[in-house]
Structure 1
């Protein structure tokens, strides 16, 4: 099977469950991972055959892809902030909007000489590792309730040569906060999707990504933000700030929560799709 034949065959199969553009994108991703060749190089070498190992892996991938298993899990890789991360079903697939949150922190702290960061809900480790790579002067801590997620994050930190202090911690249990350090920045992409929204979500998310990292109660969708704000009352250093990803429909409510907790300066930021997806809370006046 040549590279061109593999592309045509896979894209045709994927077009039965995805729109043509997405089928083409997934096909490109799979073939680049298999061959190590970018799109232009694959065009030049279109008539070269896949080797037996590559063809065997492709045959293994197809059934998973056709049952809507995300390509990132099939290939065990996801790109985030220019870095390749190992991923499996223990962690969420990193998203572009989370890169915007990371960029916000970098742009505001790239010239800060000393910095201590706490990431809450590490998942794949994409946030703390990307921050450490961009802000090497920072001391970075990261916690998650899931041991499976921490195993993935530790693997990524080792592979990407990023010194991160990982902790297993359920942030909702205040009695455990004494083990956490004082920090200049708290950053988090916590669970924030109300259970009622499941009916509107794609099968590839619902059936494969960890619900523990996605969903919260319909009755208390801001439970993690309240915990983060309360943690900040204890652990945030003077002039520190909280940065968090938020639900696009709960920007005003999340902003009000941080203001009520004593943050004198809090603001919601829109992402590239003009959705309210991030918040920064600073100038903590209530201790």
Structure 2
């Protein structure tokens, strides 16, 4: 099996799971992971036979892809806001929509301020690390209930030379705000998918990404938005801002909840696909 034939066979094998473009991208990622060769080098060496070790890794990777495992879990890495991050089944794979949330926060504060900022439900640490790299003087905190997620996040912060104060805390705990300083900004991409939607989701999401970071009870889809809003009222300074990533179907409901909690300047923002995906609110 040559590098070229391995790529072609891999692309064809996973086509039932992905469209043509995504299948090719995934095949490129796996082949680079196995060989250590970039796309151009693999073209130059396309007729090179795979050594036994590479062929074994290829067969194992193919089997995992066909089982639905995300390519990011096979390679152990994902890209977010220009950074290569470690990922595993302990954290959500960072999404482009979350990059838009980071961009909104940065655009609202263009002078590289020395802010005190908290990310709630940090997962891989992608949000606070990206913000810390742009705001070296900011005092940035990040909270998660999962020890596994916090371990990954801390490794990412170290790898990116972006010191973040990570704390293990359940935001639903009434005492969650106790260890936190007064804050200027709170950001969160909390769980927001009702359990009833799980059956319709892709296998690579519902079986391989952490359920605690994804799902909320069907009878209380705003659970985390309501609680984080309460924490923000406790810890945000006047004029401080709260930013959420949201379920596209609950934008108006999240906005109404924040207005009910006496936030002002509540703005609903669409993502690159025209879906309601982000909300910003200001503490009076």
Give the TM bin, normalised by the shorter chain: over 0.9
Task: Give the conservation status (yes or no) of the 8 Å contact 1:68–1:203.
Answer: yes
1:45 deviates by 2.7
Q: Distance in 2 between matches of 1:29 and 1:159?
A: 21
Partner of 1:30: 30
Deviations 1:138-189 (A, max 9, x none): 1110010011111111111111111010000000111232112211110000
Corresponding position of 1:141: 141
Q: Could you tell me how far apart the structure 1 residues matched to 2:17 and 2:263 are?
A: 47
Q: Secondary structure at the match of 1:143?
A: strand
Unpaired runs of 5+ residues, structure 2, are: none
Deviations 1:180-211 (CA, angstroms, capped at 9, x unpaired): 22111100000001111112211111111111
SS of the residue corresponding to residue 177 of structure 1 reads coil
The one-character-per-residue Cα deviations of 1:209-258 (angstroms, maximum 9, x if unpaired) are 11100000111111111111111111002221001100100000000111
- Counterpart residue number, 1:15: 15
User: In 1, distance between residues paired with 2:112 and 2:161?
Assistant: 22
Aligned residues: 284
Give the 3-state SS of the residue equivalent to 1:176 in structure 2.
Answer: coil
* RMSD across aligned positions (CA): 1.5
Q: Counterpart in 1 of 2:211?
A: 211
The reply on whether 1:277 has 2:270 as its aligned counterpart is: no
Deviates more, 1:160-169 or 1:24-33: 24-33
Which structure 2 residues correspond to residues 41-120 of structure 1 after superposition, within 5 A? 41-120=41-120
Q: CA deviation at 1:20?
A: 2.6
What is aligned with 1:246?
A: 246
- Tell me the residue number matched to 2:39: 39
Aligned to 1:172: 172
SS in 1 for 2:281: strand
> Following the alignment from structure 2 to structure 1, what is the Cα–Cα distance between the partners of residues 264 and 189?
22
Return 169-178 or 29-38, whichever deviates more: 29-38
TM-score (norm 2): 0.95
Partner of 1:221: 221
Question: Which 4+ runs in 1 deviate beyond 6 A?
Answer: none
Q: Tell me if structure 2 keeps the 8 A contact 1:110–1:135.
A: no
